[in-house]
Chain A
Amino acid sequence: MSELTVPAQAGAPAAESGLMVQAEQVHKSFGHLEVLKGIDLEVRSGEVCCLLGPSGSGKSTFLRCINHLEKINAGSIRVDGELIGYREHGGKLHELRQKEVAAQRRSIGMVFQRFNLFPHMTALENVIEAPVRVKREAKVAARERAESLLARVGLGDKMGNYPGQLSGGQQQRVAIARALAMQPKLMLFDEPTSALDPELVGEVLDVMKDLARDGMTMIVVTHEIGFAREVGDRLVFMDGGVVVEQGNPREVIANPVHDRTKAFLAKVL
């Protein structure tokens, strides 16, 4: 039943409009604190969009709204034409049931700052878990794909290791493989390299570059200006809960228009 809701949704699928994510006037408050003050953002299919900004600017919160880990207070978010978290029916919005929200999340992969691997499962078990339990795939097929995914992120020899036996960079690469195992159409990265020792950042960024080359649609919250410049198709600078400036990463980084962007880039470059 939940399978049916995915293709049956109205709205233009990415194939026609070319838009994977459409966010309109997204507002989000925690108590009295308004963290997002009307975010408008469109991400095309196959695009790599980097969210940049000082801490507290709302970029992680916005990312978490896209797969409904946070409920938005106003506005709308569509992924591949499908409204996230709600159903429009008779001119009214209806909250989706937990099951339906879970079904929407299946096609959106997420990678966390603190990896959040399941510590009681090996790397391979971490990757197999969701395809087998959530998508009900056959174990043999899921295992084969998990093995090739782990090999792709350079961990073919660490499949039997528990997360506690892996370095931060290795854990994050397993986490990327775990998200990819669900064959998502969109990948969200929430500061994927911020918790890593400096010498381990490169190996994670390499996997992400590889993914971008393969045409994956990616939204990346990051402080890695170099990555944004090299891999990003678009750079979005956020501050104080609004999008301050966006455009081609090379141009924005070289010639920021807005004062706040200038001030931020001056500090991090």
Chain B
Amino acid sequence: MASEEVTTVRARPEPIKAVPVRHPGRWILVAVLAVLAAMFVHVLVTNKAFNWSFMVDKMFRPPIIEGLLRGTVLMTVLAMLIGVVLGVLVAIMRLSDNPILRGVGWLYTWFFRAVPRLVLLAVFGNIGILWSRIEFGVPFDTQLGQLFGIDNLQLRLFGFSSRDIITGFMAGLLGLALSEAAYMAEIVRAGIQSVDGGQTEAAQALGMSRGQLLRRVVLPQAMRVIIPPTGNETIAMLKDTSLLLYVPVTVELFFQLDAVGKRTFQIFPMYVAACLWYLFLTSILLVGQHYLERHFGKGYGPTAQARDRLRTMAAQQGGGGAQ
């Protein structure tokens, strides 16, 4: 009681007016950066090798735009779709009780993470050398036939000419999607393992099957951990479509720019054009990723946690304020 009276009597002190700390280092840094920026602009403007007008003239030509839409954008979308679905499957295999599935899952991620993407794409691009036809049937059929004295035994169920199905686009898609699945599997596995074990136990105690508890309880909670790195993977995938040059996939942005450069002996301007196109495309994805993370981080970020604490306190005090 007494202290309350004292505080009401005493006048509120003046707001503090102090001389702020000076940062001379920042001004020196700004000066240095300004000089460097001027030098960079000087090169861009004066060096004739950039050939800006040639670059602008060529970089919006129809074959290049078609390559951008099909070889870069469409390929990224398809490879990520297949990669995510397959990655979830491989992750579930790796966390399975079944030792055989676990082994297969491990083997898959080991192989596709150990072989560089560029090499993988070169291999898939030349897979036609292995078979002129791709057929499915009993393995070692001819050899088994010889064992039992049957000449040239063929137990094939169906087949295709490899040129029909393994086009450049298909080979590239297969290479990128299969390798992406291995990385996604690791991301999904980390996400699943981040979910509290009590959640699985509660679901089991309610009599849920393994599939139900994964689908309904664990995966929805794992999404928060899975989504941000998946955004990064998508951006990386968009850039890695430039590796399709080595399959080769002809209807693709970098292949087209490279071809124009080599044909016209204006290599550098076309590579600058490639830089600008990829900068533009990844910037769009970065904006998308920002909003996606904000959406999936709901109720979990530091501010959201503070909000939840406030709600809990209100709830404990019996206040109806908690929304």
Residues of A within 8 A of B (CB): 67, 69, 98-99, 102-106, 108-110, 112, 114, 116-120, 129-130, 133-134, 157-158, 161-162, 164-167, 169-170, 175, 178-179, 182, 197, 200
Contacts and interface: CB of A to CB of B under 8 A. Distances in A.
Given A167-B315, A170-B315, A182-B207, A162 B299 contact: yes
B311 interface: yes
B312 interface: yes
Given A119-B221, A164-B308, A167-B316, A102 B208 contact: yes
Nearest to B323: A165
Contacts of B116: none
B149 interface: no
A99 to B, nearest CB: 6
Contacts of B308: 164-165
12 contacts: A69-B204, A98-B209, A98-B210, A102-B204, A103-B207, A109-B205, A116-B196, A118-B203, A130-B207, A164-B308, A167-B312, A197-B316
A194 to B, nearest CB: 14
A69 B205 contact: yes
Contact of B322 (A110, A120, A161): A161
Given A112-B202, A119-B221, A106 B316 contact: no
Contact of A116 (B201, B208, B311, B322): B201
Contacts of B204: 69, 102, 105
B92 to A, nearest CB: 15
Given A99-B209, A104-B207, A161-B315, 9 more contacts: A110-B202, A112-B201, A130-B208, A165-B308, A165-B311, A166-B312, A166-B322, A167-B316, A182-B206
B221 A166 contact: no
A206 B216 CA distance: 31
B322 A105 contact: no
Contacts of A162: 299
Nearest to B202: A116
At the interface, is chain B mostly helix, strand, loop or mixed?
helix
B320 interface: yes
Interface in B277-323: 299, 308, 311-312, 315-316, 320, 322-323
Contact of A120 (B201, B202, B206, B221): B221
A166 B315 contact: yes
Contact of B206 (A98, A99, A178): A178
A110 B201 CA distance: 10
Contacts of A178: 206
Contacts of B217: 118
Contacts of B209: 98-99, 102, 134
B220 interface: yes
B232 interface: no
Interface in B218-268: 220-221
B198 interface: yes
A67 B203 CA distance: 12
A101 B15 CA distance: 69
A99 B211 CA distance: 11
B212 interface: yes
A220 to B, nearest CB: 15
Contact of A105 (B196, B206, B221): B206
A200 B316 contact: yes
B299 A112 contact: no
A69 B316 contact: no
A28 B209 CA distance: 25
Contacts of A170: 315
Contacts of A129: 206, 216
Given A161-B322, A165-B312, A134 B220 contact: no
B199 A118 contact: yes
A185 to B, nearest CB: 13
Nearest to A111: B205
A31 B252 CA distance: 58
A170 B227 CA distance: 31
Contacts of B311: 164-165
A16 to B, nearest CB: 25
Contacts of A166: 312, 315, 322
Nearest to A114: B198
Contacts of B322: 161, 165-166
Contacts of B320: 157
A94 B220 CA distance: 35
Contacts of A116: 196, 198-199, 201-202
A200 to B, nearest CB: 7
Contacts of A164: 299, 308, 311-312
Nearest to B209: A102
Closest 9 CB pairs of A and B: A106-B207, A116-B202, A130-B206, A110-B205, A116-B198, A167-B316, A105-B207, A164-B308, A165-B311
